[in-house]
Chains A and B, each alone.
Chain A
Amino acid sequence: MNGFPLWILFIALAIGNFALRYSFIYLFGKVDVPDWLRDALKFVPASVLAALVFPALVYTEGVINISFENIHLLAGMGGALVAWRTKNVMWTIVVGMVLFWILQTL
């Protein structure tokens, strides 16, 4: 991974996480969460996660491929249905992977 030591990456991630987790516990009584930040934070999970999901389904080998040939997209649609109904990570993975394996053998 570009020669960057893995353990240093972990520690850097952990420091960032702790700073976020401790932020307003440390600042309590000194600073309130600004309104604009509170408004923006609400949209972080939906936006980031969609940015991770969409390209992974639409691209095959570096090109956009919206067709029945793209089994990631097809299996992903099945997974999306389960994700939407259950919001459950485990079931979404199980159904999506099984669909993917079935489509792969067709």
Chain B
Amino acid sequence: MKTNHQDFINGARDSLPILLGVVPFALICSVAAISVGLNPFEAVGMSFIVFAGASQLAVLQLIGEGAVWVVMLITAWVINLRFIMYSASLAPYLQDEPAKRTIPFVYILSDQAFGVSMSKFANKMPDNPAWYYYGSALAIWITWIISAIFGALLGNLVPESWGLAFAFPLSFMALMFASIKDRPTLIAALVGGITAIATKGLPYNLGLIISAFLGILAGVFAEKGGKK
């Protein structure tokens, strides 16, 4: 049991540097929620329950545009498809753990906890990797919630005249550039983006979902073509 706790603490401690990125992102999610008309309680509630920043921002933008809820759900779902990869990569380390522990800690799986844990496992395997992951996930989740609360208080102070809605595309832009790693991902972005401009007029923001899938398809084909 002793080593479990040590691994848990190590996981939390190794997550400290990455918290610098978690804090502003959580702040932004809350401020964005307030800017489209949620109250502070709803803003924090969203971060608490949903806990997936990029998809929260996308849903908030769609709320601001008055989209229908089905489109919001599908958009969030598509953005969060990456969790399938995280799930598959973490699975071997959580097999001997009871569901009463894996379920809560998988609920709070984040990009950051996944990144911290997998880079540790690749370098030096902890005695109990599951507990290392738990420590990292919990440290990030607690930081996220506290920052979301501060953001909600802050968001109430920002007047609408500041045009903060523009922060949505700006935040997506930073995440987009971080995800463009090679030629196929660049092509996926260009096709997704240009199709989205062309399909903007479609009802229910359906253009967004169509564009996302065409972009993904273009990326897959670009990669296949590149290999030949």
Contact = CB atoms under 8 A, between A and B. Distances in A.
Q: Which of B78, B84, B94, B107 has the most CB of A within 10 A?
A: B84
Interface in A64-96: 64, 72, 75-76, 79-80, 82-84, 86-93, 96
A4 B78 CA distance: 21
Taking each of B25, B78, B172, which has the highest tally of chain A beta carbons within 10 Å of its own beta carbon? B172
The 6 closest A-B pairs by CB, nearest first: A47-B215, A43-B219, A54-B193, A50-B193, A47-B192, A56-B169
A102 interface: no
Interface residues of A, number: 70
Contacts of B194: 54
Interface of chain A: mostly helix, strand, loop or mixed: helix
Given A38-B85, A44-B82, A52-B61, A13 B190 contact: no
A17 B87 CA distance: 11
Chain B interface SS verdict (over half):
helix
B87 A12 contact: no
A106 interface: no
Given A10-B45, A93-B167, A47 B87 contact: no
Residue in A9, A43, A87 whose Cβ sees the most chain B Cβ within 10 Å: A43
Interface residues of B, number: 91
Contacts, number: 264
B65 to A, nearest CB: 10
Contacts of A16: 73, 76-77, 80
A77 B33 CA distance: 25
Interface in B97-113: 102-103, 106-107, 109
A93 B171 contact: yes
Nearest to B102: A25
B215 A43 contact: yes
A62 to B, nearest CB: 8
B46 A10 contact: yes
B104 to A, nearest CB: 10
Q: Which of B94, B162, B180 counts the most A-chain CB atoms under 10 A from its CB?
A: B180
Given A14-B49, A20-B80, A89 B166 contact: no
Given A2-B66, A12-B73, A76-B169, A20 B193 contact: no
Nearest to A75: B166
B107 A18 contact: yes
Contacts of A24: 84, 87-88, 91
B115 interface: no
